[in-house]
Amino acid sequence: MSFDLYLEHFESGESAPVDRDKILAILLREHCQKDRYGFHLAEFSDGTHVSMTMPNLEDGEEGEDGGKDFTGCAFHLRGFSPMIINFIFSVAEAGDMVIFNFQGKNTVDDPVLIALNPQQLPHLPKLTTNGTEAYIPVLCTSPEQLWTLLGMGFEEWTDYRDQVIGRQP
């Protein structure tokens, strides 16, 4: 069970390719490894870690949809730390990607859609939560702000996870 964040790059309302080299450079800098199941894994000096799915990142890889473009990725969090948030922010920023937090409540304080710069906003597709209600994009310009925007949602998710697995507070 994980707290998942999805990153995607958009141009003119459509998913668009990300510069693979920028993302690969970040993964290399953080000494990420790819496991036998295809997940990229990052471990940080504070003892936390995160796994990622990055379809089509390596040249020649074919995605589930048959495409070869790297347009986004997903982070599967089982812990929460400033190092993880800095890493996610760095990847999103390098790829000019927005962040989807589907655990969010689609409010300004607990958003589903997080943009890192105002230039991303006109490129977003017409996204809806239930066919009628549009996602409210929230602008986030720093890892510290991302920590705040995700913090309450992660705390609620942790409480839910602990209840499901029978862990006592």
Q: Which long-range contacts (CB under 8 A, 24 or more apart) does 124-129 make?
A: 124/10, 124/13, 124/98, 125/10, 125/13, 125/14, 126/13
* Average pLDDT of the chain, as a whole number: 86
How far is C-alpha 26 from the geometric centre of its chain's CA atoms? 14
Tens of pLDDT, residue by residue over 111-140, are: 999 999 999 999 998 865 566 668 889 999
- In this prediction, what percent of the chain has a pLDDT beyond 70? 79
The whole-angstrom separation of Cα 168 and Cα 92 is: 35
- pLDDT at res. 111: 92
Question: Considering the entire predicted model, what is its pTM?
Answer: 0.85
- Closest C-alpha to 141, from 104, 84, 99, 78: 99
- pLDDT at res. 30: 92
Tens of pLDDT, residue by residue over 43-59, are: 999 999 999 999 989 86
How far is C-alpha 113 from the geometric centre of its chain's CA atoms? 10
Tens of pLDDT, residue by residue over 63-115, are: 555 568 999 999 999 888 899 999 999 999 999 999 999 988 889 988 999 99
- pLDDT at res. 135: 86
Q: Which long-range contacts (CB under 8 A, 24 or more apart) does 144-151 make?
A: 146/85, 146/88, 146/89, 146/99, 146/114, 147/82, 147/85, 149/101, 149/109, 149/110, 149/111, 149/114, 150/5, 150/80, 150/85, 150/101, 151/80
Q: Please state whether beta strands 72-77 and 98-100 pair in parallel, antiparallel, or not at all (unpaired).
A: unpaired
- pLDDT at res. 168: 66
Q: Which amino acid is at 123?
A: H
